[in-house]
Amino acid sequence: MPRYYPVFIDVTERTCVVIGGGNIGQEKVEKLLESDANVLVISPAVNKKVQDLADAGSIAWERRKYRPGDLQDAFIAIAATNDNTVNRQIADEAHERNVLLNVVDVTHLCTFIAPSVARRGEVTIATSTGGASPALARTFREKLTSSRILEYADLAPVLAGARAELRAASLVVKPDHWQTQITEELLDMVQAGKTDEARQKLMDGLISGATPTAAS
């Protein structure tokens, strides 16, 4: 099996084609919309949720079967059909056009695979088993979602603010020193609503290990 290169893709306002409008297609459509993609669904029929999205103008829907040429303007494509012949036709076109493709549950036809995702605030943790066991990937997601580890995502706004302050002051902090400042104590302060106190504590710790940005 291929060893996939892990990456997060910016699909904002890019055309993403989903072929199939059932429950699995709906899941793919919703995740693309969460990332501000322009979504086109191609399917003779869709479920009620996809229909509602089309009626609301959130997605475009072409009520027909896939035909060659449908990926002409696609940035990425997702095949959510249960027709092996159609899936292979889609894969052939994606290959010809260099379009990134995910064929649901048919890993060998994919050029990218969808990970199992756990989210909290601005932080996304994606887990993949390279297609070996989607159930194991879901287990990781569920364990992460209920663990203390994902709660560290609550620090993201404070950490982002600190980065901006350091840049404005032309200061650089090495990654290792950054990590020493990301502590449970800091997390407890943020979760207790002591955001200003946490920000000051973080900045004090970071500045102690900061160096001036080298002049260009």
DSSP code string of 138-195: HHHHHHHHTSHHHHGGGGHHHHHHHHHHHHHTTEEE-HHHHHHH--HHHHHHHHTT-H
Give the bridge partners for 46, in sequence order: 21
Portions of the chain given CATH number 3.40.50.720: 1-114
Beta-carbon contacts of 72 under 8 Å, excluding residues fewer than 6 positions away, are 97
Does the CA dihedral 144-148-195-183 come out positive or negative? Answer: negative
Q: For residue 61, give Cα distances in angstroms to 14, 25, 31, 77, 165.
A: 16, 12, 16, 14, 45
With CA atoms as reference, report the closest residue to 163 among 173, 151, 150.
173
Q: What is the Cα–Cα distance from 31 to 39, expressed in whole angstroms? A: 10
| 59: helix, strand or coil | coil
The phi, psi pair for 128, rounded to 5°, reads: -135, 145
Q: Please check whether residue 160 is in contact with residue 188, taking contact to mean a CB–CB distance below 8 angstroms.
A: no
Tens of pLDDT, residue by residue, the chain (216 residues): 678 888 889 999 999 999 999 999 999 999 999 999 999 999 999 999 999 999 999 999 999 999 999 999 999 999 999 999 999 999 999 999 999 999 998 989 999 988 888 889 989 898 888 878 888 988 998 998 888 999 999 999 999 999 999 999 999 999 999 999 999 999 999 999 999 999 999 999 999 999 998 644
Contact in structure between 68 and 47 (CB atoms under 8 Å) = no
**Correct CATH for 1-114 of 3.40.50.170, 3.30.365.10, 3.40.50.720, 3.40.630.10:** 3.40.50.720
Q: Which of 18, 26, 62 is nearest to 44 (CA)?
A: 62
